[in-house]
Structure 1
Amino acid sequence: MIASEFPVLAVLCGSAPPPDMAAIEEAAVVRYTDARGLPEALTGAQGLFVYDFLSTAVPGAWHAAGDLRWLHIASAGVDPVLFPGLVESDVVLTNSRGVFDDAIAEYVLCVVLAFAKDFARSLDLQRAGTWQHRETERVAGREVLVVGTGPIGRSIARLLRAAGLRVSGAGRRPRTGDPDFGTLHDSAQLTEHLPAFDYVVAVAPLTEQTKGMFDAAAFAAMKPSARFVNVGRGELVVTSDLVAALRGGEIAGAALDVFDTEPLPGDSPLWTMPDVLLSPHMSGDFAGWRNTLVEVFAANFRRWVAGEPLHNVVDKRLGYVPSESQGAAG
């Protein structure tokens, strides 16, 4: 049991509180707040639930977090809260790893099929009332590189393999014989491997090493017929280089669910470029996902108050949950 029978929990949630918090409210003093009120809510709080997972308010309120022992973010990516003050502190960081894996994998399969079967052009022709017969591509046997080998990447690999695609991965530790990817390439030598693939899927966590990894050199290394899919973080991509690669025919298309600036500015050329599929950061957002995020937090909250090891503990130096580590002392 933690020191106080009723711990103080700050919840950063913007204008709307999370659903299904009744059980937590019975076991803690819960302070709901938006970004402006976060310093006051953090004063004396032992826990922080960052439900508004796109908020960048935590670093600016960190001066008030003197009693904080645990921070949980309602997303798989932790880059909005991974700043030096947290990294250097003793505060345990956990995330919502596992919630979005299958939904994002379904999205990736969807856009792969959309490219192969030319769905976007079919819809344009339908709206124009034009009957135009065309031939499309098979996906079976196509080569896919999934850059990012955590649970989301593995779910993507399994689903694409089931559809007949041949999938490899790229991560920090290259090896062969992986159960989901077969071959894992070294992401530090990414451009050496890109020429072999028909689809390249970005799902790596955002770290200093991965920021801007898809730049002019990466796109130039891809096949002219390759399609690029980003369901990781917008900052993995140098957007101007992607636009130039699409305009210059260095790659054949892109499906983008995340962007370095969100919402995507209205004057971005990506809105109107052919062979570009856009969605507003929603690839993992299935019906009921908000409730599931609270369930994941509530399960860890019960472990925390009981002094049990927490699940999904992030290695703050790496920026993600190591595959071999699921928990740590609360």
Structure 2
Amino acid sequence: MAASTASRLSTPRFLAPPASPHPPIRRSRFSPVRAAKLEAVLSIGTHLIPHPRKAASGGEDAFFANSDAGGVFAIADGVSGWAEKDVNPALFSRELMRNSSNFLNDEELQVNRDPQTLLMKAHAATSSIGSATVIIAMLEKTGTLKIASVGDCGLKVIRKGQVMFSISPQEHYFDCPYQISSESAGQTYQDALVCSVNLMDGDMIVSGSDGLFDNIFDQEIISIISESPGVDEAAKALAELARKHSVDVTFDSPYSMEARSRGFDVPWWKKLLGAKLIGGKMDDITVVVAKVKKVLVPEDEGGVIEERKVNEQGIAVAEEQKGNEPGIAVAVASAEQSEE
């Protein structure tokens, strides 16, 4: 009887649950799970070379660039004709760019990021006498580049070795572009060419005053962009090549080709000798080169997570950066970059 009781009171056995085909997820002790989104930002490089005869005064171009909140840049080309009225053409372009930079913190622009609105506010606040061609470009976090342009400053987007977008100049007639002016007879923000383009990761933006695009061809731009290690180097190389072409009287430049197509050429008797209008156009040369980059941004924090690679499942693998991504500081440049 005792033996029988002992057998009934033996230690019970516990059955283990069946093994799960999915291993448990191991939660990190060091970083909480955070939602993140991809945002577009610009890495910006700039370079300015004044007209050879205006190097001492810094030239008449002005620009600013800012990589914060996606990215924005602007270029103003002072109209040299004002010098005939004893007015320094650089004063208007410099003040216009300084005001454009200052208005970036305006509450309205913080919300809608509209370059035409920025141009309106900057122009209204500019008190200097003069006029300028101008272009302003602002990148939204979604990757849309918004552009407002008055005159013949240019902008091109290069993707995979090809120009996939380019804006057209506005002009009254050859060599007389639209211009923002201190005079009521001039153009205003309402006359701006307004457009937008959706950009992709890795796209390159090349913008500049007419001193760049009058002296350099698209294929040369593409070649320099592909060979340059960064945006700063690309901007400098483009400016220096444009300067080289501008003083070359034997170079058949985009400017000379356009002039001939508009009926401007050498006298007929020179044509009989085989001559034609050629040569570069000496001018101030301002270049902005920007690269589009997609970054991962935590939705609940201000830090930036830079996208490093994508794994086999299509999931972004990222490393967190401390603080915000390094970018160009706000700078109003008024031809203070002289020739090196």
Does the alignment reach a TM-score above 0.5? no
The alignment's TM-score, normalised by the length of structure 2, stands at 0.28
Larger Cα-atom Rg? 2
The structure with the greater share of residues assigned to helix is 1
